[in-house]
Amino acid sequence: MNMKQEVRVSMGKRIVLFVLILGVLTTMPSGVIAAGMDMKTIAEKEVTMVDHDGKEYLEYFLTEMVEVVPGNIIRFTNVYRNLGREAAEPGLTINNPVPKEVAYIGGTATGKNAKITFSVDGGKSFGLPSELFVTGEDGKKRPARPDEYTDIKWVILKAVLPGEEGSVAYKGKLK
């Protein structure tokens, strides 16, 4: 049971909204999808709004509806649903490569009943942030920064019952 959502987009110097969204929303998960499971990816721009009392709050807008430029924060949500007649066993895996045009924002990966790990080597190996190291410009090993993560993996720790839906998400900043 391995779902792999790959987000691959080709970009010039300026992030073009249509290309980014088309790349995110039309890229089908690769790998084997558990029988009866369905998954979709939603990309939303985070916008700070101000209410009538002057208090700030966050609002999210589908990226195909608003302009997206470097520096914007995007929330990527993978929604999974069991369309089958039997429960999907614990261990359902969602591996989401972080697009090259996006820098993962540390501490934003979420998922109820999920073990979350990260990769700095294109998804070859995964670990907790404290276990990830890269080679610095000086040739020495150092702890990896969140913006150097290349992939995020969620392992769902409980069965997904027929008709049940769940989601995992992370935020990234457009480069």
Task: Please give the pLDDT value at position 35.
Answer: 67
Task: Please give the pLDDT value at position 95.
Answer: 92
CA distances from 164 to 39, 80, 138, 158 (A): 12, 8, 49, 12
Q: Quick check: 115 and 127 in contact, CB under 8 A?
A: no
Q: Whole-model pTM? A: 0.79
> Which stretches of the chain drop beneath a pLDDT of 50?
1-32
For residue 24, is it left (φ>0), alpha (ψ between -120 and 50) or beta? alpha
Task: Please give the pLDDT value at position 64.
Answer: 85
The dihedral over CA atoms of 45, 95, 78, 5, expressed in degrees to the nearest 10, equals 80
Structure token pair of residue 131: 């276990």
Task: Please give the pLDDT value at position 32.
Answer: 36
Task: Please give the pLDDT value at position 7.
Answer: 28
| Nearest to 71, CA basis, from 15, 9, 148 | 15
Task: Please give the pLDDT value at position 18.
Answer: 36
Q: Which domains does the chain have, with CATH numbers?
A: 2-174 (2.60.40)
Task: Please give the pLDDT value at position 63.
Answer: 87
